[in-house]
Structure 1
Amino acid sequence: MCANFRPLTLQQLHQLSLPDISFEYPDEVYPNYEMPLLFQSAQGLEWRNVHFGMIPKWSDDTSIALKTYNARNETLLQKPSFFNAVSKCKFGVVPVSEFYESKYIENKAQRWGVRRKDGKAFYIAALYDICQKGGQVIRSATMITMDAIDHPMMKDFHEPGSVKRSVIVIPQERLEEWLSWKSPNILSFVHGFPVEEFECSHVPKIKIEKNSPQLNFFD
């Protein structure tokens, strides 16, 4: 699973020869934050600013995105939150610089980052949808995941046990195929990313110290 990542940078966007992004987005994304999603329209590749976490039209509250930011590929058609999007084959990608997972060292969770060795951004498979709530257009997306119990890198993340998940990375050479895919059956894309092209390391979260008036009294 993935609940935290860094979207691609401007330099990485140019490396991949992607269209410019016309809106701002955060350096680091968490569930229900806004993020850039790339999809294929009749005009070609386009960007949309979407919520990280699927917000289906039947939900009364956008906070559902806090629970729908990942979608198991095995059950896409069985989950009400994702059924409309997958049945209409609304496939996109979230280009990222790095994503973060928990690795347990001596029973304590550490934040580890996964990135490409060559420094390029990579595409995470996503499902997106659009709906209206109170006259407001809501765009949202979820990252599609796969079983990772046998993946050389991803099997070491998450809590100890038999459940290990990973995002699905769409290779550059299959990007156009994925974005124009017209079937809910996506098994041909469900492959673990090539571990020889990626690396991971401990990336602690930066703590922001809050200064109090007492601490600054003599400044």
Structure 2
Amino acid sequence: MHLCARYEPIKDPERLQQNFGVNAPDDLVTTDVWPSYKSIFIRRPKESDQSEEAAPNREAMLGSFGLIPHWAKDANIARHTYNARTETVAEKPSYLDAWRLGRHCIIPVEAFYEPDWRSGKAVATRISRADGQPMGLAGIWTGWKSPSGEILRSFSMLTINADQHPFMNLFHKPTDEKRMVVILEPQQFDHWLAAPAHRSKEFLLAYPAEGLVTG
């Protein structure tokens, strides 16, 4: 079972506004999200870079969970590109353009699921912040033009090694490498969205184990 293939999105527009400062799109997703499902991600609007006027720093967009690179023939690749390993993100063809261009995004979630194998079989386990606040996960995004001319946006979660993490190393098979998503603090949101590509790795840190709970 792959890392973070399922997560619980924020279903309440008010909670989204209060915690992330964005207005929910009309079609806010209210079911758990799996690879290739549509859900929202938060990016820095293009106008923020092009105008001296006061443009909003963040906007919520609907996109596919799983990055669809511009050269993809169809959207099915999203089923395999939902987690981008930070060690190889700059080299993998699916991710390198979004990474090189610094297309940072935040994925707002209530919780994500990982398999707990300590019983000998995979038990899907819900993981959330201990303080009850939603999570803003660091990701990258891009746009893809379908053969019919439709523009589809998509995003991937960035992941880091968690072999030594006291909480996240409890999940996945004992023989598998342990991985975890990058959970940003609210005061980092705008810095992450605006950071140039060469500063991306400064943000890719493990979240404290005591800040996470199961259930």
Asked if residue 90 in structure 1 is aligned to residue 91 in structure 2, the reply is no
What's the CA shift string for 1:160-195, capped at 9, x where partnerless? 125010001111111111000112452211211122
Match of 1:18 in 2: 21
CA RMSD of aligned residues (A): 1.4
Which has more radius of gyration? 1
Rounded Cα–Cα distance in structure 2 between residues aligned with 1:171 and 1:137: 31
Match of 1:40 in 2: 44
Match of 1:152 in 2: 166
Rounded Cα–Cα distance in structure 1 between residues aligned with 2:72 and 2:16: 34
Q: CA deviation at 1:105?
A: 2.7
What's the CA shift string for 1:2-27, capped at 9, x where partnerless? 10001113243243152221232132
Q: How high is the TM-score relative to the length of structure 2? A: 0.89
Moved beyond 6 Å, runs of 4+: none
Q: Is the 8 A contact 2:74 2:146 kept in 1?
A: no
Q: State the aligned residue count.
A: 201
Asked if residue 114 in structure 1 is aligned to residue 127 in structure 2, the reply is yes
What's the CA shift string for 1:79-116, capped at 9, x where partnerless? 00001111110000101000000010331100111111
Q: Is the 8 A contact 1:96 1:123 kept in 2?
A: yes
User: Structure 2: 5+ residue runs without aligned partners?
Assistant: 49-54
Greater share of residues in strand? 1
Counterpart mapping for 1:104-143 below 5 A: 104-134=117-147, 135-143=149-157
Rounded Cα–Cα distance in structure 1 between residues aligned with 2:198 and 2:65: 21
Q: Which amino acid aligns with 2:163?
A: I
Describe the shift of the 1:90–1:146 C-alpha distance in structure 2 as closer, same or farther (beyond 3 A).
Answer: same
